[in-house]
Structure 1
Amino acid sequence: MNLNPTDAGTRRTKIIVTLGPATESEDMLENIIRAGADIIRLNMAHAKHDWTRAIIRRIRAVSQRINREVAIMMDIKGPEIRTGDVNAPIELKSGEIFDFTIQPRPIQEGSEGIRSVDINYKDLVNDVKVGDTVLVDNGLIRLEVLEKNNAQIRCRVLIPGELKSRRHINLPGVRVNLPSFTEKDRGDATVGIEEGVDFIALSFVREASDIETLREFIEDQGSTAHIIAKIEDQSAIANLEGIIAATDALMVARGDLGIECPFEDLPIIQRNAVRACIAKGKPVIIATHMLESMITQPMPTRAEISDVANAVFEQADCVMLSGETTIGKYPVDCIQILDKIARRIEQTIVPDPAIDVELRQERMKVIRSAVTMAGDFPGARLLTFTRQGFMARGVAALRPRAPVVAFTPHIGTLRQLRILRSVEGILMPFESNPDDTIDRAIAHLKLTRQVAAGDKLIIVTDILSHDRLVDSVQLRTVR
């Protein structure tokens, strides 16, 4: 049963697509943008700068050619602990004693007959304590710290597995004193800023000060890129409110988060993060393993369909694809499936009275009145006019029943609107008289057949009154 009919042509939940070998060609870029990608993510964990510059320019060129501007997110790696190289995979056995060495030494076996591998973070011996858990390779291998000294951390293997070169290490509950914004991140972010990326995602954010460090760097470079904080460990969960307040958007990065936190807590963390972001008026992204089986299979599992649907039911702003579109066999199909699931679930969503958005600014109260009015007119649309995106972000935060059309004169703002749930951005110069701008916008919507005679438009904007701009809400009927 359709509980809340919406415009069939409007998908409210935005789709983020990670670029990789499967999707980086010009033809595939066009295909994924036409299929509905809103934001293209560049994972800088292994990306080279020459590739990054070339691919950003390719994305811009394709977007312009097909007249659909997408945003670009640069996802910088952040602090990371990895094992070193091994000559051949090490088959760890349950109960085996194994060393993580701080100073590189001949790999595989020490003088005591104990096998080992070096790690890239020499101060780890100061961060861990006896009894701590060490997880390797996305948690597939589990060890317990038995003892440590300046040269090594001695562990017992609890869950065995095959250890290969450069595997990622997680330390649940351990505060690691690595910098949040590394030298590699600075180099990568500089390239992104020079090429005009719209978002920079910071990995392993632990507290608000991590975001402030990155923001200072971005502003010093003269960039207007927005920050996306990725929450991936227990420190982030403990400091969630401060992180949300400091960032421009939040990503629930369920990969490392599901390793660092008890897996049964993950759905609760996701739900709480989404609600907290809505309350603070910040966009929120649900990421990792959305359609993981489609890396190799043409259809998702039923569990994956329900997982995507749950993110849409929670009214997250975006869902994100990773391996599905970097190395997967069916990248375009993945986008089309996300699109289909989102549209169907959105038809059933009714406003949730349990979600209480904080309205600290007077302008937000004006926006709420517009959202309430739009909900009283079936089939109505909300129109906003924004130079920097504030008005559109305010409307999106209130999760309106009506779809939102946001007009802006700035292409950078247009791209950053791509992250907002329910918001469709349109690039249009503003007139000196606000009324003329509104008339021009309505004429555009009529010309493109997005509205027809008799449709109701709720317009939230500023108007000229006695030589000053005043926030206003208007009800207009298309003639």
Structure 2
Amino acid sequence: MLMKQTKIICTLSANRGDQSFIQELFDAGMNVARLNTAHISLEEADTLLNNIRSVSDRIGVLIDTKGPEVRTCEIENDIEVITGETVRISGKHVPAGGFKVNYEDFTDDVPDGSAILIDDGEIYLTVTSREEDELVCRAENDGAIKNRKSINVPNIELDLPALTERDAEFIDWATRTDIEFIAHSFVRNRDDVMAVQSILDMRKSPIKIIAKIENREGVENLETILDVAHGVMVARGDLGIEIPAEEVPGIQKHMIKTCIQRVKPVITATQMLHSMIDSPRATRAEVSDVANAIYDGTDAVMLSGETAYGKYPVEAVTTMSDIARNAEAQKGAISYKLPVYQQSEDLMPRNHLAKSAVAMAAMLPAKAIITSTKSGDTAEICASYRGKTPIYAFSGSMRTVRELSLCYGIHAEQLSIPPTTGELVKTSLRRLLEDGRFGMDDLIVFIGGGHIYSAHTNFLQVDTPATLLK
């Protein structure tokens, strides 16, 4: 069976996160486990983390923050609305004939004529006027307004704080535990990322930040967000509400392409196999959706409700793995289309060698690219060219191994680094030969340091295990 290159993120829940279940997901193809802090307590997060680590120390763990969001609040009974009916909204009190939201300055930030979408667009209101600290709105469709439901105001920038009190609690918890990634919700600009990074810096935490892009402001500021974030998530749920849905596919392609060029991990998320919450089989449209994200080069695809509470969680992961392997076998490499990744002058030899390694492996062809890495950078640059040759990365750091669990095409393992490059090559070859990854007479490409204490990657070698193990 072909090895899967695209990584799969699975959302776990407190009610479905025991070791046996996590093992099933891992065996089916899960690479990263996601904990949604909106739906779990700190104690439940502790239990889930311990269960994940009991299954495998190579599974990356990502937690989602809630981020700056507006929700309905203090609604005791559902409010039934009819098309054309007047509905009032306030951030300071519960108005007669309406509801309150959890953002006090909501009425100041939202101008007349704005569209207000409630519960992922289930209810559509239009602001017609304002009276003191209330917005007067017209209901554009029938429905029920419920408590604690999301509020979106497309194309309007709300002056919300980047972090909630709950976010700060979970970030503090993450810095005291063994977490690799924080996915921060509703990132609008680099300042939102730095609000989280400043806390991590104070705690001297190595946790990587994934910026969830969920509105137009985030899309427009993508380049500057990538200057400070480890990677991004194309969070298509809120993005498809804040921005016209027909624009999202093009935005998704642009974001994936930009991240690949910047050597930043990119996750494609939301409703990828949504029907499998209730059905044992995905729709043809869903299969095409997942495959097209993989054709575009996404590092990872994510399952949310499918694994958190759906009826067919393991089947969803298996389906996604099957789609990935098939799409990867069909798509072409992009190694010849991308320029060499530009960094400071002292790092350019490594970057030229990385592109050469991928191109050489494709042309020969070689069965594997092997690299040793402390930070994961060399492996990530090789992976950014999206070649078809699997990349095996060996690191002395288990944290680096788990960080690479999010990156396309990289199969990372921990290895005690021997004193010489020659011994490193032999040790890594023996392990991969034992696993049946290739044969003694297959060509392999090794990229790493010519000396075990080299400051940067400066060594590229092509040969067979039969020769290298002599």
Name the CA distance, whole Å, in 1 between partners of 2:340 and 2:454: 31
Residue in 1 that maps onto 2:406: 419
Residue in 1 that maps onto 2:53: 60
Are 1:16 and 2:9 an aligned pair? yes
Task: Choose 207-216 or 69-78, whichever is displaced more.
Answer: 207-216
Q: 1:179 to 1:377 in 2, by over 3 A?
A: same
Are 1:455 and 2:437 an aligned pair? no
Name the CA distance, whole Å, in 2 between partners of 1:304 and 1:75: 24
**Letter in structure 2 aligned against 1:366:** L
Residue in 2 that maps onto 1:86: 75
Residue in 1 that maps onto 2:24: 31
Query: SS state of the match for residue 28, structure 1?
Result: helix
Query: SS state of the match for residue 230, structure 1?
Result: strand
- What does residue range 214-253 of structure 1 map to in structure 2 within 5 Å? 214-253=196-235
Are 1:255 and 2:255 an aligned pair? no
Task: Choose 150-159 or 10-19, whichever is displaced more.
Answer: 150-159
Name the CA distance, whole Å, in 1 between partners of 2:434 and 2:419: 22
Could you tell me which of 179, 187, 191 is aligned with 2:169?
187
Could you tell me which of 332, 340, 358 is aligned with 1:350?
332
Are 1:141 and 2:123 an aligned pair? yes
- What does residue range 248-327 of structure 1 map to in structure 2 within 5 Å? 248-327=230-309
**Letter in structure 2 aligned against 1:42:** L
Query: SS state of the match for residue 215, structure 1?
Result: helix
Residue in 1 that maps onto 2:84: 95
Name the CA distance, whole Å, in 1 between partners of 2:195 and 2:297: 30
Name the CA distance, whole Å, in 1 between partners of 2:452 and 2:160: 54
Query: Contact 1:229–1:247 (CA<8 Å) still a contact in 2?
Result: yes
Query: SS state of the match for residue 145, structure 1?
Result: strand
TM-score (norm: length of structure 1): 0.93
Name the CA distance, whole Å, in 2 between partners of 1:467 and 1:43: 40
Could you tell me which of 22, 33, 45 is aligned with 1:40?
33
Name the CA distance, whole Å, in 2 between partners of 1:466 and 1:36: 35
Residue in 2 that maps onto 1:70: 59
Query: Contact 1:278–1:355 (CA<8 Å) still a contact in 2?
Result: no
**Letter in structure 2 aligned against 1:163:** I
Q: 1:354 to 1:454 in 2, by over 3 A?
A: closer
Name the CA distance, whole Å, in 2 between partners of 1:285 and 1:199: 12
Name the CA distance, whole Å, in 2 between partners of 1:371 and 1:294: 36
Name the CA distance, whole Å, in 1 between partners of 2:103 and 2:461: 59
Name the CA distance, whole Å, in 2 between partners of 1:188 and 1:399: 34
- What does residue range 139-218 of structure 1 map to in structure 2 within 5 Å? 139-218=121-200
Q: 1:35 to 1:468 in 2, by over 3 A?
A: closer
Could you tell me which of 349, 369, 372 is aligned with 1:385?
372
Residue in 2 that maps onto 1:397: 384
**Letter in structure 2 aligned against 1:99:** R
Query: Contact 2:378–2:457 (CA<8 Å) still a contact in 1?
Result: no
Deviation at 1:340, TM superposition (A): 0.5
Residue in 2 that maps onto 1:438: 425
Are 1:473 and 2:466 an aligned pair? no
**Letter in structure 1 aligned against 2:205:** S
Deviation at 1:345, TM superposition (A): 1.1
Task: Choose 264-273 or 147-156, whichever is displaced more.
Answer: 147-156
Name the CA distance, whole Å, in 1 between partners of 2:452 and 2:277: 57
Task: Choose 204-213 or 145-154, whichever is displaced more.
Answer: 145-154
Name the CA distance, whole Å, in 1 between partners of 2:454 and 2:460: 18
Where does structure 1 differ by over 4 angstroms across 4 or more consecutive aligned residues? 465-470
Query: Contact 1:198–1:225 (CA<8 Å) still a contact in 2?
Result: yes
Query: Contact 1:278–1:357 (CA<8 Å) still a contact in 2?
Result: no
Query: Contact 1:357–1:398 (CA<8 Å) still a contact in 2?
Result: no
Query: Contact 1:245–1:280 (CA<8 Å) still a contact in 2?
Result: no
Query: SS state of the match for residue 319, structure 1?
Result: strand
**Letter in structure 2 aligned against 1:306:** S
Task: Choose 324-333 or 141-150, whichever is displaced more.
Answer: 141-150
Equivalent pairs, count:
461
Q: 1:468 to 1:310 in 2, by over 3 A?
A: closer
Q: 1:468 to 1:48 in 2, by over 3 A?
A: closer
Query: Contact 2:85–2:139 (CA<8 Å) still a contact in 1?
Result: yes
Name the CA distance, whole Å, in 2 between partners of 1:358 and 1:258: 34
Query: Contact 2:88–2:136 (CA<8 Å) still a contact in 1?
Result: yes
Offset from partner CA, 1:140-193 (integer Å, 9 cap, x none): 111111222442111111123111111100010011111112222111111122
Name the CA distance, whole Å, in 2 between partners of 1:386 and 1:193: 24
Query: Contact 1:275–1:355 (CA<8 Å) still a contact in 2?
Result: no
Query: Contact 1:206–1:236 (CA<8 Å) still a contact in 2?
Result: yes
Q: 1:437 to 1:291 in 2, by over 3 A?
A: same
Name the CA distance, whole Å, in 2 between partners of 1:10 and 1:444: 17
Name the CA distance, whole Å, in 2 between partners of 1:177 and 1:261: 18
Q: Once superposed, what is the RMSD of the aligned Cα atoms?
A: 1.7
Specify every segment of 5 or more residues in structure 2 that has no aligned partner in the other structure, as ranges: none
Offset from partner CA, 1:89-136 (integer Å, 9 cap, x none): 11111111110122233x7xx2xxxx1111110111221111111110
Offset from partner CA, 1:332-387 (integer Å, 9 cap, x none): 00000000111011111112378535521302112111111111122421111101
Name the CA distance, whole Å, in 2 between partners of 1:311 and 1:243: 21
Deviation at 1:260, TM superposition (A): 0.5
Query: Contact 2:443–2:464 (CA<8 Å) still a contact in 1?
Result: yes
Query: SS state of the match for residue 70, structure 2?
Result: coil
Task: Choose 355-364 or 409-418, whichever is displaced more.
Answer: 355-364
**Letter in structure 2 aligned against 1:147:** S
Could you tell me which of 31, 44, 55 is aligned with 1:51?
44
Task: Choose 411-420 or 78-87, whichever is displaced more.
Answer: 78-87
